[in-house]
Chain A
């Protein structure tokens, strides 16, 4: 597919100096964007223009630019990571847009993800949830032979599917309740399917859910928007497993 040039785009973007600032939308024009460039490259171009004009460039998170780090959070035209499925913003191409479009770009919106500046939000709430139970405790010493612990192929696959979560927060951003259930489910699920994870399974489900609630994420109402918008297509069947793990753990208390 030959790349075309989008002659003019209007970028309506959220500008907020810091966490205390009320924030506002600004609309900037950008010309001659190749449809082959990624959304982040377009943002780079825009920032170049802004710097030349003496305007503070738009702050946004980016790192790997290949869809694996999960940092590039942007809510584009009403959807996390924009108008494409199973991609992060860095993998979103400008061919998804038309010449003359106005593109609305907002940060993730959730009480648990406060804005730091412009499009950058603080996602350390996810780390706090992981610290509450998203690990297995191991003693130091010799590394055991991996093959000494038999794991069925199906379980290994299921655990790997869950482990594909990159912690981007799109699930929270998409959810009408700002619920972190898909993220927590992915983390609980990937350990729950492995023998090493079973040892602390009950405490893990209890503690991670309690932490998630405490940090101000909403509750799950099974709308499924998280799965639809997740760049790794994590299935909400993992949420069913989390519910199961949690209920069993709670009733055993």
Chain B
């Protein structure tokens, strides 16, 4: 296993494994978040959010998720830099528009924008819920159990600011563009692909990307339109 993690395919292997893990996390995250729009009393979402905050299995996964993000982000800059160096003299004229997809050529930019969004997002919610607290976070009692009224914090944010809501729509779209290439690419990287599965995986990638982009976008839009 010598030098595996610094070899080109080894580096990509790390990107792929962490990418797959992050995509799985996104499915869970989106599912929980969608509860925001299926129960206007907020109980459904609050119970789910409370479960995610207190369940020991989820608690174990939290640092692993953080690590996954760190590795994915750090390695993304490493591979992008190495790949940039592989062409010291650039072309005067280069046209890749017919040869490759826009997303595939802009993974670092898309990822970096997702990262900017991620930082804002963590500050907005995670930070307030876990660390600083907020006036919008009174405790509620649901089915005899006391918990944060996370629903109030999230829904108020979206209802009060259109800019804030649109930022979240943008975040969803950017992530969708990142994974429309990332999804099938991660299987290709692991060697789980062939001529038959190529178009199937690319098709599933599109479905996944649309679900992510639309799923995350409808939540803020719901609060903007309904309230």
Contacts and interface: CB of A to CB of B under 8 A. Distances in A.
B11 interface: yes
Interface in B177-227: 181, 184-185, 187-195, 198
Nearest to A243: B191
Contacts of B184: 222
Given A109-B90, A253-B2, A176 B13 contact: no
B99 interface: yes
Given A106-B93, A244-B191, A237 B86 contact: no
A106 B92 contact: yes
Interface string B1-20: 11110011111110000000
A234 B91 CA distance: 24
A210 B7 contact: yes
B195 A218 contact: no
A239 interface: yes
B92 A250 contact: no
A223 B101 contact: yes
Contact of A209 (B8, B91, B189, B198): B8
Contacts of A177: 83, 86-87
B185 A222 contact: yes
A78 B92 CA distance: 8
A74 B93 CA distance: 12
A222 B104 contact: yes
B193 A219 contact: no
Interface string B26-39: 00000000000000
A217 B11 CA distance: 14
B191 A109 contact: no
B91 A75 contact: yes
A228 B100 contact: yes
A51 interface: no
A235 interface: yes
B88 A111 contact: yes
A111 B9 contact: no
A77 B95 contact: yes
Given A219-B12, A247-B9, 20 more contacts: A14-B92, A78-B91, A106-B93, A110-B86, A111-B88, A174-B96, A176-B96, A179-B83, A217-B8, A218-B86, A220-B9, A221-B79, A221-B107, A222-B184, A222-B185, A222-B188, A224-B104, A237-B193, A240-B191, A247-B13
26 contacts: A25-B92, A77-B93, A78-B95, A176-B96, A177-B83, A179-B83, A210-B7, A213-B8, A217-B86, A218-B82, A218-B87, A219-B12, A221-B12, A221-B83, A221-B104, A223-B100, A224-B104, A237-B193, A237-B195, A240-B191, A241-B191, A244-B190, A246-B191, A247-B190, A247-B191, A250-B10
Counting from the closest, the 9 A-B pairs by CB-CB distance are A244-B191, A78-B95, A218-B86, A177-B83, A228-B99, A219-B8, A240-B193, A223-B100, A243-B191
